Chains A and B, each alone.
Chain A
Amino acid sequence: MGETLAEKILSLKSGKKVSTGEIVLANLDFIMAQDGTAPLVIKAFNEMGGERVFDSSKIAFVIDHSAPSPNEGVSSLHKMMRDFAQKYGIILYEVGEGVCHQLLPEKGHVVPGDLVIGADSHTCTYGALGAFATGLGSTDLAAALISGKMWFKVPETFELILKGKLPRGVYSKDLALFLIGKITADGATYKSIEFKGGAIKELSVEARFTLSNMAVEMGAKVGLIAPDEETLTWVNKHSRKKSNPLFSDDDALYEKSFEFNVSYLEPQVAKPHQVDNVIPIGEVEGTEISQAFLGTCTNGRLEDLEIAAQIMKGRKVKSGVRFIIAPASREIFLTAIKKGLIEVLVEAGGVVVTPGCGCCVGTHNGIPSDGENIISSANRNFKGRMGNPNAFIYLASPATVAASAIEGKIADPRKYLEKRLD
């Protein structure tokens, strides 16, 4: 019987033919922890009696969640990471380099066929390159730093076949939200997802990251997209590592298959406080907002800033609304400056903060006040997520975020795009 993409990669990395449900020990290609999880990694590493790391070139710590540090407690945890990185010679991405999930692919640490773990739930982002990448906790990470290995239960796979082509003004974020609404927040728990079909082929690699990033919002372990020409071109531009593109077999066994035609999809919004509370934009249009946030590992990439700038050009952020922008990395920030995108966004009234997680996780950089509505390009709208349990977070695409910032209420971005192109 054929193998799914998840089985293919786990077979390769564990050195034997694996099958669903089996527990395997596999060799890791890269390991990552960020400033919310690395301190506990270090603690567990020391408790385990760790003396060395298995390969310092395959481990990175990223300071992105509260960067720059907003208080002395965080500062001392950052210092702990710096000291560890120096002592063991691992890679350290400092304050301002960007969000971990942007940096790992951008800096060339992940290529197709890799097995990657990160102490962050959105590690599944790199599935977009055809890498088996998944989030784990700090103690697992510590064990991996020492041994270079991790145990996995080989997951069953859901096949999501996406046909058609996304219409104008509708993006991979809308598709991700739509799918989460259909599959639900725990519908794919423990499963591997394979995103397939013509609609996926049409997406840029950047847009594919958005989709894989949100696989965990359906409970999935990984969200895989088979590599194609587009992927390999992107990867070769960013990495010197050798790619090992793997594909699921034609006779692979899927636990479930879903098929959707995306050609008539509308912009989608996830209402507070659940990511699967998804509706087409028409049903929330007009809801007043106090803050709009563009950024995160989901939608802080160049393409996202371009879309927002296209909508904002020559327009202004509604008075009384904060429009916060966090480019996902320094490289993206620099390119956006060179392309004039930052000028457009700032001229419109936007506020640019340090490349990194920004206000996504409520540590600093734009904590809402009680009763406020926020429109955000992030991946989670849980109560308290942005630092205030009495605020209400709506998730949407960068285009919808920009259009809403202009109107001060949730707005359909299509009218702005259509006007401009006529």
Chain B
Amino acid sequence: MVLKGKVHKFNIDDLNTDYIISGRYKFKTIDMKELSQHLMEDLDESFYQKIKPGDFIVAGKNFGCGSSREQAPLVIKFAGISAVLAKSFARIFFRNAINTGLPVIECDTDQIENGDEIEVNLEEGQVKNITKNLILSIKPLPQMMIKILNDGGLVEHFKKYKGFKID
């Protein structure tokens, strides 16, 4: 899978699930298209309008900490973001992202700035910063997660194997 697009950088650590989608919206509906319009609203009110399909969200460490709400990766995906790049991720968010088919990439995001054009190659495990002409390496995912991501998320994985397929 090769993804290409522009970077929206949030220059902060611990970007939590309340920032991604505030609790004041998420309890009302499970319509992700509607919820996605509120993505990162408390950090940048017009963020949703700035996204072009295929763009990336880039941030510091511990991205997605906080609640277990799966709405968090889902609204990112439904807003048209193709992947999130961070120095590290909180564990529940990380699992939820893979389960819902949103690629999450651990790499040195200090080398990426807002507005940069980047290309992510998941198979080769690298990020190319086209604007800066840099190659960054990706921390590899556990085998089980690669399998779930390749199957298109956990729902598809489960349908295919009628259960979890480990090994």
Contacts and interface: CB of A to CB of B under 8 A. Distances in A.
A137 B27 contact: no
B165 to A, nearest CB: 9
B90 A37 contact: no
Contacts of B13: 186
B70 A189 contact: no
Interface stretch (A202-210, A284-292, A328-336, A376-384): A376-384
A186 B142 contact: no
Nearest to B89: A189
Given A36-B27, A74-B27, A362 B22 contact: yes
A139 B61 contact: no
B167 to A, nearest CB: 9
A147 B163 contact: yes
B27 A66 contact: yes
B90 A39 contact: no
How many residues of B sit at the interface, in one of the four size bands?
A: 35 or more
How many residues of A sit at the interface, in one of the four size bands?
A: 35 or more
A98 B65 CA distance: 25
Contacts of A138: 70, 96
Contacts of B127: none
Contacts of B119: none
A303 interface: no
Specify the main secondary structure of chain B where it touches its partner.
loop
B30 to A, nearest CB: 5
B69 interface: yes
Interface stretch (A42-50, A82-90, A227-235): A42-50
Contacts of A389: 22, 42
B164 A384 contact: no
Contact of A219 (B29, B74, B90): B90
Given A37-B69, A73-B29, A186-B62, A139 B24 contact: no
Interface stretch (B1-9, B46-54, B77-85, B154-162): B154-162
Given A136-B68, A185-B62, A47 B99 contact: no
Contact of A135 (B16, B24, B68, B159): B68
A196 to B, nearest CB: 23
Nearest to A41: B70
Contacts of B163: 146-147, 149
Contacts of A200: none
B88 A382 contact: no
A77 B42 contact: no
A140 B67 CA distance: 15
A151 B144 CA distance: 9
B23 A363 contact: yes
Interface string B11-38: 0011010110011101111100000000
A150 B144 CA distance: 12
Contacts of A44: 154-155
A274 B15 CA distance: 10
A280 interface: no
Interface of A: 23-25, 35-37, 39-40, 43-44, 47-49, 65-66, 71, 73-74, 77, 118-121, 123, 135-140, 142-143, 146-147, 149-151, 153, 185-186, 189-190, 219, 221, 274, 361-363, 367, 380, 382-385, 387, 389
